[in-house]
Amino acid sequence: MTDDPRSFADDFNVVFKEQADFFRQKVSLPSKSWRELTGNAHDRAFVVAGVEKEAVLTELRAAIDKAIARGTTLEEFRKDFDRTVAKHGWIGGAGENNTAWRTRVIYETNIRTSRMAGRLKQLRDPDVLALRPYWMYRHADLRQPLKPREEHADWDGLVLLHDDPWWKTHFPPNGWLCSCGIRPLSRREATREQEKRGKASMIDDAPPLNLHGVVDPKTGETVMVPSGIDFGWDHMPGDSWERGLVPPELQRPLPAAGEAAPDVSLPPLSDYGRASAVRDLPAGSAIGTYVDAVLGMFGAGRGENGASVYRDEAGGAVVISEAMFQASDGLGKAIKRTVGGDYLRAAEALKDPDEIWVDWETDERTSRPVLRRRYIRYDGDRSSVAVFTWGQNGWEAENLFAASGDGADPERQAAWLRHGAMLYRRKLAGAAS
């Protein structure tokens, strides 16, 4: 990663719609490590390793979006980054001496992958494929690296059909700061290119993958990776987006509107049957008293330095701060029209859940997909279900109670919440280890 970045940044001044469309459809996700998402999951999620504050993610995302839309340079991005650090504090890494390397990786990774994802969409246009169905690998398409990767240089000039399986793992970029690209060719162009290289065949045989084992630093497991490709880069950027798919890492079915279709293998929520540890505050307590009580459950407080990052039972990060109560769609608004104690129980669902679920849902205000986590807890004493929902646009609290006389069942009301991917389930009392 010692290449001079200046020549690279200049090539980003060409802006095209498909690149911007790809980047803007992503969902921002807090993360501890770049390995929390793998493969084409990055087609749908914007992450910055070590950044868990959604406000920071929002600012960095806006800076990248500006770079894509306006063609702004790495140096301009670094100024935006410095402003964010000055406002929120240092963002991950080993220290401030890491700034140059970190900003370059964030900038080039997002610009390069979004560029190639947009390029893929252009290349797969039916009219383009009809004219140019062959793809040629181009080493150093954007710049000549100081230390070329041997395999990437060997692939230079390789001509394959657009649907050759080799592209699934080798469509560039193929590693950190990789500057390789793709050139589409017609039949005549492919023949001419091969003749220039002394090749008799119009298309080449796909090179062998030469898989080798790499230890995943997050899980400790050995993952097989093709030779010449950096760990975590053996996928086709933009493939799932271009085909209208959500990658397997994030894809979860949504139930039909109003349909309650829980997994039949799930135990009834009442089987958890634990009493709430929350104690109601005195009648007539001020809203601020409830705010302090909720913050206190997580060791947080009011003020600029009162925030804390809470790690849930599944390892997810939730930032607990006074700002949660000031959001237009957060607890502060809802608490005014609902019993405050109910929200203490919703906070208890976050801290001590029976189940945690994650799923893609449609934001009612923007009609865009958002990823939401739901924390569910059944209160055996009250026959109620407390639900805490966390997403990029804020959080919501719900309490579903058994209503006397009308046959309402909180479990049935909560059934539609138990969909997507289950991240955590509390072990039932008496269950085998």
- Do 419 and 341 belong to one domain? yes
Number of domains in the chain: 2
Whether 253 is in a domain gets the answer no
* 196 and 273 together in one domain: no
d(CA 237, CA 119): 10
Do residues 135 and 167 make contact, with C-beta atoms less than 8 angstroms apart? Answer: yes
Contacts by 394-399, CB closer than 8 A, 24 or more apart: 394/324, 394/327, 394/328, 394/329, 394/330, 395/324, 395/327, 395/330, 395/331, 396/329, 396/330, 396/334, 397/331, 397/334, 397/338, 397/342, 397/343, 397/346, 397/347, 398/346, 399/338, 399/342, 399/345, 399/346
Distance CA 372, CA 19 (A): 26
Reading the chain (433 residues) residue by residue, the pLDDT tens digits are 334 333 333 344 456 789 999 998 887 777 777 766 777 778 878 888 888 777 788 899 999 999 999 888 999 999 999 999 888 876 655 444 578 888 999 999 999 999 999 999 999 999 999 999 999 999 988 778 888 999 999 999 999 999 999 999 999 999 999 999 999 999 999 999 999 999 989 999 999 999 999 887 766 778 899 999 999 899 999 988 887 754 444 444 333 333 333 444 678 888 887 888 888 787 778 878 888 888 999 998 888 778 887 888 877 778 788 877 764 444 444 444 444 567 788 899 999 999 988 777 766 666 666 678 899 998 888 778 888 888 766 677 777 765 444 445 666 766 778 877 777 888 886 554 4
Residue 310 shares a structural domain with residue 220 = no
Q: Are residues 141 and 287 in the same domain?
A: no
3-state secondary structure of 26: coil
Read off the pTM: 0.59
User: Is 17 inside a domain boundary?
Assistant: yes
Does 182 reside within a domain? Answer: yes
Q: Using omega within 30 degrees of 0 as the cis cutoff, is the peptide bond preceding 173 cis?
A: yes
What is the pLDDT at residue 62? 93
Same domain flag for 46 and 188? yes
Asked if residue 223 belongs to a domain, the reply is yes
- The verdict on 224 and 137 lying in the same domain is yes
Which residues face 387 on adjacent strands? 376, 398
Let me know if residue 353 belongs to a domain.
Answer: yes
| pLDDT reported for residue 368 | 64
- Regarding whether 238 and 341 lie in a shared domain, the answer is no
Pair (419, 304) in one structural domain: yes
218 and 284 within one domain: no
Give CA–CA dist 257/54, Å, rounded.
29
pLDDT for 1:
36
Q: Could you tell me if residue 260 is inside a domain?
A: no
Does the residue 430 lie in any domain?
Answer: no
pLDDT (0 to 100) of residue 14: 55
Residue-number span of the structural domain to which 378 is assigned? 269-425
* Cβ-based neighbour number of residue 38 at 10 Å: 18
pLDDT score for 389: 87
Same domain for 412 and 374: yes
Both 290 and 381 in one domain: the answer is: yes
In a domain, 399, yes or no: yes
Identify whether residues 192 and 316 lie together within a single domain.
no
